[in-house]
A and B are shown apart, each in its own frame.
Chain A
Amino acid sequence: MIGQVVHGLGSGAVYAALALALVLVHRFTGVVNFAQGELAMVSAYVAWQLVEAGLSYWVALPLTMVVAFAAGALAQRLVMRRAGDAALIMTIGLYVLVHALAAQIWTSALRAFPDPFPGGPLGVAGPLAVVGAVLALLYLVIRHSGAGLTLRAVAADPRAARLAGIRVGRVHALGWGLAAVAGAASGVLVAPVVFLEPGMMGDALVSALAAAAVGGFANPVAAVAGGLLIGVAETLAGTYLWADLRVVVPLAVLLALPAVRAAGLTRVRA
């Protein structure tokens, strides 16, 4: 039982990191990014490619984060900016395109991904620490930096921010970039376990969406808690109740949330 909870926390950490990315994008640009998981998958491939090229894991990791930030910001500037009101469908287009590109470049062959954390029950501490670090980093950037201040201003009122001379477009790109960094963390966490392949984030995305919904796509802490809870719930339901229940857990959470919101437990604003 305890073993199962620990494993649940491990996958929960992945959902939490991806949910953080979803929350960031939604808070700062008002859209749910369905392509977030695919961007994370590409980040993992970038890390893999760097390690294959001979770099040490701990050098490749920060480099990957830089690449992910640039890719996220570019996706916003090049593609999302032109979406107008159809931003959500645009993220679907991005999802399809990024996935197809990855399958084209890296094929669907399985790739082993280096695992920096030891196996066993203690191994789960690593992913949790990564999620904690990402959360702390985002908190610092958003609360205590100049860029973070403009981010919050844009999130609060884009029109007023624009009038105040803030370049809203650039700030949106910054939000996408930061989100891509959080997403990359999830990709790098999940890759050693499931092996690297283009479809690897498919399932994590649904669970992460449910986790982000727990925080109303606005509250990072609630999203992290939701991710961990969903991870544990999936593992326990799959092990002790009915193996297929795993895939139903995110759906059940999403369907129950509006009722829970009515009870005043969480702020689901979406």
Chain B
Amino acid sequence: MTAEPRTGTGHRRPAVGQYAGDRRRAWPYPRTALAMAAAAAAAVPFLVPPYPLYRVTLVLVYVVALLGLDLVTGHGGLISLGHGAFFGVGAYTAAILLAAGAPYPVTLPAAGLVAYGLGHAFGRPAVRLSGLYLAVVTFAVAVAVPPLIRRLAPGGAMGLPARTPGAPSFTGLDDDQWVYLLVLAVTAAAFALTRVVIRSTAGRALAALRADAGAAELLGIRPPATRAHAFAWSALYAGVAGCLFTWTTGFVAPESFTVTLSITLLAGLVIGGLGTVPGAVIGAVVVAFLPAPGLVSGLALIVVLAVAPHGVTGLARRLPSFLGKDRA
């Protein structure tokens, strides 16, 4: 049995920007694009009526979750089917704290830390084996968490309403705009953190493991510890995103965090494109606007994997070189 089971996300020939630490440029004006994106994002709450704004806020929430999932799946090459469970744990942590009267800024780090701790607890035993095993264990986590929430968390099957952050009066904003700006700030911080993590020693170690585990081990990288850390970090992102979800919707229930959510998140990320920031953003749009896994998302996932393994982002990135002279 030399058929070393290869876990999912490998790329036979990495295209531009398809692996962590890749510095090749695919788009000539990154700073301008970033500035324009930031300006546009900050302008949204002043342009968009309340309901679409709520949808955009949810997209940002899923962006944070997918940035975390991308750490494990895109950069680590491991598959987590339990991301929705950590998202739910974060959401519930925030809701329970808010119900107990805690001020909402406290709930964000609390949700992240609880998810991080659980991520360590489940990730440690799981990553001692191969990536396949992590997928199986996380699937079991995703299945077990909703009934446990239903039994252990206040509110039970009825779910739990939570206060949503109210805008301080000096800002002159309404609550929807305030929540959007809070979520946007956290999303921006998550982006920045992702860049730092990926360029850190641990991030490089993760990318090295994914590219060639044997060679990486010879360099002194310990696969289980590195992967367990990456997994716990991704759980932290999921927990933070869950907290933002509670801030946005003001209600949590066990049915919102079933294995369906985990599958939706993974599908969104794959369709958007693994290992890239734009992939996470496109994926979040997919998650927010194609909420229930059904015919469309199933077909989309299969077609993307069969035709464009780098997702929508990969297709877009290939476009300039395809149109230009320097065809690879």
Contacts and interface: CB of A to CB of B under 8 A. Distances in A.
B125 A258 contact: yes
A269 B11 CA distance: 24
A108 B8 CA distance: 31
A210 B137 CA distance: 9
A254 B8 contact: no
Contacts of A32: 132, 135-136
Contacts of A99: 293, 298
B128 interface: yes
Nearest to B269: A89
Given A92-B267, A96-B301, A258 B128 contact: yes
Contact of A85 (B3, B12, B126, B129): B12
A157 B309 contact: no
B151 A244 contact: yes
B91 interface: no
A258 B129 contact: yes
Given A86-B305, A97-B299, 10 more contacts: A31-B5, A34-B139, A85-B8, A93-B305, A104-B295, A209-B136, A251-B141, A254-B126, A255-B126, A258-B133
Contacts of A248: 144, 148
A85 B79 contact: no
A82 interface: yes
A99 B293 CA distance: 9
Contacts of A157: 1-3
13 contacts: A86-B8, A87-B8, A88-B135, A90-B301, A90-B305, A92-B267, A99-B293, A157-B2, A159-B2, A213-B136, A254-B137, A258-B129, A258-B133
B143 A83 contact: no
Interface string A5-48: 00000000000000000000011001110100000000000000
Contacts of A95: 263, 298
Interface in A66-100: 79, 82-90, 92-100
A225 interface: no
Task: List 4 A-B pairs, minimum CB-CB distance, nearest first.
Answer: A97-B298, A85-B10, A96-B298, A93-B301
Interface of B: 1-12, 79, 81, 122, 125-126, 128-130, 132-133, 135-137, 139-141, 143-144, 147-148, 151, 263, 266-267, 270, 293-295, 297-299, 301-302, 305-306, 309
A114 interface: no
A250 interface: yes
A250 B2 CA distance: 28
Contacts, number: 161
A30 B299 contact: no
Nearest to A243: B151
Contacts of B4: 30
Contact of B309 (A86, A93, A256, A269): A86
Given A79-B306, A82-B305, A89 B144 contact: no
Contacts of A255: 122, 125-126, 137
Contacts of B139: 34, 206, 209
A93 B297 CA distance: 8
Interface of A: 26-27, 30-32, 34, 79, 82-90, 92-101, 103-104, 155-159, 202-203, 206, 209-210, 213, 217-218, 244, 247-248, 250-251, 254-256, 258-259, 261, 268-270
Contacts of B144: 206, 247-248, 250-251
B132 A203 contact: no
Nearest to A154: B3
Contacts of A79: 302, 306
Interface centre among B8, B125, B266 (most CB of A within 10 A): B8
Contacts of A244: 147-148, 151
B133 A93 contact: no
Nearest to A34: B139
Contacts of B129: 258, 261, 268-270
B302 A90 contact: yes
A160 B266 CA distance: 34
Interface centre among B79, B128, B140, B141 (most CB of A within 10 A): B140
A200 to B, nearest CB: 15
Nearest to B295: A100
A244 B145 CA distance: 11
A157 B10 CA distance: 20
A85 B122 CA distance: 25
Contacts of A217: 132
B301 A92 contact: yes
Contacts of A86: 8-10, 270, 305, 309
A69 to B, nearest CB: 21
A97 B133 contact: no
A202 B306 CA distance: 26
